[in-house]
Amino acid sequence: MDEFEIKEWYLWSCQSFPGLFNMSADHYLARQLGKKLDRPLLRFFTWKPFCISLGFHQKTDDLDLTRCQKDGLDVVRRPTGGRAILHARELTYSVVYPYGSLDVTSLYRLIHLPFVNALQQLGVPAEFKPSQTDFRKFYRSDQQAVCFATSAKYEVEIEGRKLIGSAQRVYENSVLQHGSLLLGDDHEKLVDYLDLPGEKKNLMREYIRQHTATVWQFVPGVTAESLAEKVREQFTRNFNIRFSPFEKQAILNEEYSTTEFRVTRQVRSP
């Protein structure tokens, strides 16, 4: 079984931030590993206000940006790939780890193992996805705009329905992996913000409902903060990881902030 060779990590406990901060901070910290950041980092966070994030190369044409603005949703890009996610009632995580220490598939499995164990202890029947989706075929399908429409190998499911969606990006010295663990069913509302005809929206909404699961379906009311602590405990139990509190003021400064991940809200001409 693969292991995390490095046992001393930072822990950034669960806090809420706007979308641009969340994505800029992940990107900045991944670039700083081996420089200002001297060890791996596990971070938990939520989104305030709620936010739609797009994959780094995804077209903004997939979204009705005018409606997003009207409803007070942030819209940002992620430094990673994939498709759109509505971040609402969920627990989001990110891990920054040295590049080359583990292959990317092993990293998915190792990072998600503590999540599976923590969820199973709560009574949530979470499990790994056993095989890889054919993404070339998926991106030609009607569901291609939505990240939670499919799962990659070693993402976390419940009876074939996606529970955690994750993505990776390789930097010069590090790998950034971050992902969303669904607590409630707000992710289904993403369809309301897609620039699609009504009939296609209804079909996609039903597809997402049938192919995703949430924690609250099994254990209502679990908070992001309490679940994050249970996952942290499993990192220590599974891999003997020793965490030190992350003092963001000592590393993050004005340099972290970037407009690279901001999506310009433009009202379309009639």
pLDDT in tens, 98-138: 998 788 888 999 999 999 999 999 999 999 876 444 334 43
Residue for token pair 């309490």: 226
d(CA 54, CA 85): 7
Q: Is residue 20 assigned to a domain?
A: yes
Here the CATH number for the domain that contains residue 160 is: 3.30.930.10
Residue for token pair 């607590």: 183
Query: Pick the residue with more confidence: 41 or 195?
Result: 41
Q: At what angle do helices 104-122 and 224-239 cross, to 10 degrees?
A: 120
Beta bridge partners of 84: 146
Q: Domain containing 113: what range?
A: 11-256
- Tell me if residue 68 is catalytic: no
Q: Is residue 268 assigned to a domain?
A: no
Q: Is residue 269 assigned to a domain?
A: no
Q: Is residue 270 assigned to a domain?
A: no
Q: Is residue 132 assigned to a domain?
A: yes
Q: Is residue 265 assigned to a domain?
A: no
Sign for the CA dihedral angle at 180, 182, 186, 188 comes to positive
Q: Is residue 119 assigned to a domain?
A: yes
The alpha carbon torsion through 101, 104, 110, 116 (nearest 10 deg) reads: 170
d(CA 80, CA 121): 30
Overall domain count for the chain:
1
Categorize the per-residue pLDDT at 143 as very low, low, confident or very high, splitting at 50, 70 and 90: very low
Segment 185-237, tens digit of pLDDT = 999 999 999 988 878 888 888 999 999 999 999 999 999 999 999 999 999 99
Catalytic residue among 14, 51, 68, 147: 147
